[in-house]
Structure 1
Amino acid sequence: MKIATLVTSTAGVAAALVTVLTISGCDFFNRADKAAPEIAFAPYAEGYASKPDFAQLDYQHPLSTADLYKITPKNLSFLDQEQVDQIYARLNAGPIPDGPFEGDLFFPRGDSGKLRLSEIAGGGLKGLLVNVAGAKLDLVGELLWKGKVFYRDERLLRNRIEDLSTLKKLGLVEEGTDNPLQKTTVNGKDQWLLFPARLYCGQSLLDSRRESIIIDYAFTDELPGYRRMPDLLGGRDGFAIRDEIRMVYPGFYLGRAYMDRAFVVNFVLYNKDIADRARDEFMKTGQVQQDCWTGTQQRMVVAERLTSG
């Protein structure tokens, strides 16, 4: 595991982080943050040539564990896309997740705030044997970045759908006795498992210096539990979705979604049980299991040692 850890002593870190560290899973996505997280960024301008080199960014502006715990789904929306990219580039993949995660997409500052998959797909969806208006296809697309269930040992993932009514009204749910819908129960709620995907370590399409965890829907039709509708919408005959995620801190992942290798939207995933269980150790050491290749550049993780007085 190629992580260098610089431990610094900071009085009062526990008090500064108490708000972030005690939120519930639901509140995590609904916080009333009103400003961007106070994190250092490299200078940049609008032109591509002005964008910082990620290796230099890592060296000059390493993220401390306290910095990482400042990040929430809400305050990420106060950053522009370049700043979100700079955060992502300073993360490692972390461990491949296991079990259920809550999820949501977010739009950075300056974005329209709407997901328009149908516009990006263009004529690529004309071959689908389904008569669905573009706006409704966008609603279907948003389901892919909500709750997920990771099957780490099988290297598989399925998306959790709480309400099938929208998909059924659009005629996008095939159900029969020979292929019944699979479901799970999370927090006392029954949820349907759809849109299966492969799970593996692979090259990031943003930052090739180190691997990310890849969620790949391309060959969804070859995976257990596949049903033609609605699952093909995420596969190579539909949106051709490929997600990649990196760990912000244990239990919390920042993701980037691509459609046919074109960047579409940012999203986040969160598991409160994992976050609570691993928090103290990660705050002390800044270290965590790395399942994917961490690259040749040694990443500096600045850990905060909690002190009394």
Structure 2
Amino acid sequence: MTRISHWPRRAITACMLAAITLSGCGLFDDDEDDPPQIAFAPHAEGYAGKPDFAGLEHRHPLSTADLYKITPQNIARLDQEQVDQIYARLSAGPIPDGAFDGDLFFPRGGSGKLRLSEIAGGGLKGLLVNVAGSKLDLIGEVLWQGKVFYRSERLLRNRIEDLTTLRKLGLVEESADAPLHKLRIGGKDQWLLFPAKLYCGQSLLDGRRESIIIDYAFTDELPGYRRMPDLLAGRNGFAIRDEIRMVYPGFYLGRAYMDRAFVVNFVLYNAKMIAAGRDAFMTTGQIQQDCWGGTQQRLIAAAAGGG
């Protein structure tokens, strides 16, 4: 099956504007200048020049050794089509649990930064506050940073280290009766905002198998919701819907959509989980799958001896 959606032109123009350097998580070199050396199908500009994902996976399946060539840093050295081809050859894996670091990234060949103000066009539907331009862009960037997954509750919250910008804009509702939720991670207080639902659902890029969906549409119905700033991510704001698939245990590749228009790539990773899961996954290629794997079985060749 081929990919099921075309890229909206305004999303491509707005989002693929620059390559940025990702922060390290302790397991990877900070100066990874080379893209991962794995196989990709030939591709050209325009939808007609994109490969069929089923054919891609048949000709170029990713082994565990291939997967461990990919890091949260070097994936940004690829172009967008190559990032898409990696995502299409992944499966959802287990729904994460616990705290993950995160970064949004723009693939090779772009310049600039995330411009949610351009994508939003004339404004946000139903939003009664005056937020525009660079202020809107700053708010958008916090939505794809660190996250905390509550697997048993099928709930997610975003980790915000610094509320200064949101407070200056008057977008944080605080009171003694409704204190902000926070968690201490890595010796720092993390404010927990923007709750989202977690479930398995169809990928907007590759419909052959499910992805893990992070859905902000009904954020106002979730525990801990506060109108400001949480509604910015919901159906009356940006209408954010993310989807993620596992690269290897502890590391997920994500795609963010706004009102079903592709916005930006992001990565989520937990250094301890990556280290703990490496040997077993490298050796067997087996992992718990919480979501539907599709009718086209994904095969992963394990490295001999786990090395």
Q: TM-score scaled by structure 1?
A: 0.89
2:121 match: secondary structure: helix
Contact (CA 8 Å) 1:244, 1:255: kept in 2 or not? yes
Letter in 2 for 1:107: F
Q: What is the letter of the counterpart of residue 64 of structure 1? A: S
Partner secondary structure for residue 194 of structure 2: strand
Aligned twin of 2:193? 194
Residue identity in the other structure for 2:258: M
For 2:147, the aligned partner's letter is K
Distance 2:306 2:99 in 1: 34
**In 2, distance between residues paired with 1:251 and 1:306?**
21
Contact 1:254 1:269 in 2 (8 A): yes
Percent identity over the alignment is 78
The match for 2:82 is 83
Q: In the alignment, does 2:293 pair up with 1:289?
A: no
Asked whether the 8 Å contact 1:28–1:72 carries over to 2, the reply is: no
State the match for 1:131 in structure 2. Answer: 130
Say which SS state the counterpart of residue 123 (structure 1) adopts: coil
Aligned twin of 1:60:
59
Residue 134 of structure 1: how far off its partner (Å)? 1.4
Match of 1:262? 261
Decide whether the 8 Å contact of 2:72 with 2:269 is kept in 1: no
CA distance in 2, matches of 1:132, 1:218: 20
| 1:25–1:270 Cα contact (<8 Å) kept | no
| 1:101 matched residue in structure 2 | 100
CA offsets 1:70-109 (integer angstroms, 9 cap, x no match) = 1122211221110000000000000000000000000011
**Shift of residue 118, structure 1, vs aligned partner:** 1.1
Which residue does the alignment assign to 1:184? 183
Residues paired across the two proteins, number: 285
> Counterpart of 1:121?
120
Two-structure CA RMSD over aligned residues (Å): 1.6
Deviations 1:138-161 (A, max 9, x none): 111110110000000000000000
Q: CA deviation at 1:29?
A: 7.4
Matches within 5 A, 1:1-309: 26-27=25-26, 31-125=30-124, 127-306=126-305
CA distance in 1, matches of 2:139, 2:38: 34
Specify whether residues 274 and 31 from structure 1 end up closer, same or farther in structure 2 by C-alpha distance, changes over 3 A only: same
C-alpha contact 1:59 1:300 (8 A) present in aligned 2:
no
Shift of 1:178: 2.4
Residues 285/115 of structure 1: CA separation in 2 closer, same or farther (3 Å cut): same
- C-alpha spacing 1:217/1:307, structure 2 compared with 1 (3 Å): closer
Structure 1 193/44 Cα, relative in aligned 2: closer, same or farther at 3 Å?
same
Spell out structure 1 runs of 4+ moving beyond 3 A.
27-30
Deviations 1:231-261 (A, max 9, x none): 0000001000000000000000000000000
Q: 1:25 Cα deviation (Å)? A: 6.1
In terms of fraction of residues, the more strand-rich structure is 1
The match for 1:10 is none
Which of the pair has more CA radius of gyration? Answer: 1
2:120 match: secondary structure: helix
Give, as a single letter, the amino acid of the residue that structure 1 aligns with 2:72: P
Local SS of the residue matching 2:300? strand
Q: What's the CA shift for 1:291?
A: 0.1
Matches of 2:85 and 2:133 in 1, distance apart? 32
**8 Å CA contact 1:94, 1:291 repeated in 2:** yes
Long gaps (5+) in structure 2: 1-22
RCO higher in 1 or 2 (8 Å CA, sep ≥ 6)?
A: 1
**Superposition deviation, residue 34 in structure 1:** 1.0
Distance in 2 (alpha carbons) for counterparts of 1:107 and 1:215:
20
Contact 1:73/1:106, CA 8 A, preserved across alignment = no
Name stretches of at least 5 consecutive residues in structure 1 with no aligned partner. Answer: 1-23
- SS in structure 2 opposite 1:181? coil
Kindly indicate whether the alpha-carbon contact (under 8 Å) linking 1:107 and 1:113 is maintained by their aligned counterparts in 2: no
Match of 1:197, SS state, is strand
Q: Give the direction of change, closer, same or farther, for the CA distance of 1:65–1:187 in structure 2 (3 Å limit).
A: same
Preserved CA contact (<8 Å) 1:181 1:193: yes
Q: Return the alpha-carbon distance in structure 2 between the equivalents of residues 245 and 189 of structure 1.
A: 26
| Structure 1 residue matching 2:113: 3-state secondary structure | coil
| 1:37–1:76 CA contact under 8 A, matched in 2 | yes
Deviation string 1:174-225 (CA, Å, 9 cap, x unpaired) is 0112221000011121110000000000000000000000000001011000
